[in-house]
Amino acid sequence: MTDIAETHSTFAADDEREAVRRIVAGDRLAFEWLMRRHNRRLYRLARATLRDGTEAEDALQAAYLSAYRSIGRFRGDATLLTWLSRLVLNECYGRLRREARRQNVIPMVDLNTHVDIDAMTVQDPDSPDKALARAELRAVLERKLDELPEVFRVIFVLRSVEELSVEETAQCLDIPEATVRSRHFRARSLLRESLAHEIDLAERDVFEFGGAHCDRVVANVLARVTGEDDQGSGAPAI
């Protein structure tokens, strides 16, 4: 019986057509290979659309099930990633409509977003302090991304986070390449403005010295002064 390691080795040449053929024939290990290959990218697409990690994971699973059931109809006119991306987007928008999360659901044709959080943070696994700072930065970036209009958020994730080309992004979202370029530019501008505002607010608190800090210094100094006064050597000079 073929194990998953052997399957991965078999598809080392990224032969997705062969993977599709095997999946159609009932090879579940080939389907596992396919999911692992595209998991992160498709999850990020779902997360950018739904703005909720749990919902995004559920939508991704549902899209994979749909893909497994219908992969025999995959014609290869587009890439497998493009086909899977559209299934994920359709699932996400179906959820948005059913749950009435938005008053106006943007049609898939208007979508384009792409963001790579990992690429925006420096990797340094040996430093707990830097890891914490990186996590805090990641949280700020994700919050700011969630604040972007969906039409820009999805584009930013695909282009900046997953680093898809303009052509690949246009294929995934079924929109013109010119639209991808203009919306990606706008998304970057909006995110830059939002982050700049966040920094402006934070500047007011840089090197903050109040509350407990202030009380501690005053108390320490007064204690020293009291001690010196008690010894008769700390009276202020006149």
Structure confidence by residue, pLDDT tens digits, 72-128: 988 888 889 999 999 999 999 898 888 754 444 444 433 343 434 344 444 445 567
Burial (CB count within 10 angstroms: exposed 0-12, middle 13-18, buried 19+), residue 200: exposed
Residue 162 is which amino acid? E
Contact in structure between 170 and 179 (CB atoms under 8 Å): yes
Name the token pair of 184. 């990606």
pLDDT of residue 235: 54
Quick one: angle between helices 177-203 and 166-173, nearest 10? 100
Q: How far apart are CA 23 and CA 235, in angstroms?
A: 89
**pTM above threshold 0.75:** no
pLDDT at 91: 92
| pLDDT score of 122 | 42
Q: Residue 83 contacts by C-beta under 8 Å, 6 or more apart in sequence?
A: 67, 74
Average pLDDT over residues 138-155: 88
Structural domains of the chain, ranges and CATH numbers in brackets: 1-105 (1.10.1740.10), 106-207 (1.10.10.10)
130/197: higher pLDDT: 197
10 Å CB burial of residue 99 (0-12, 13-18, 19+) is: exposed
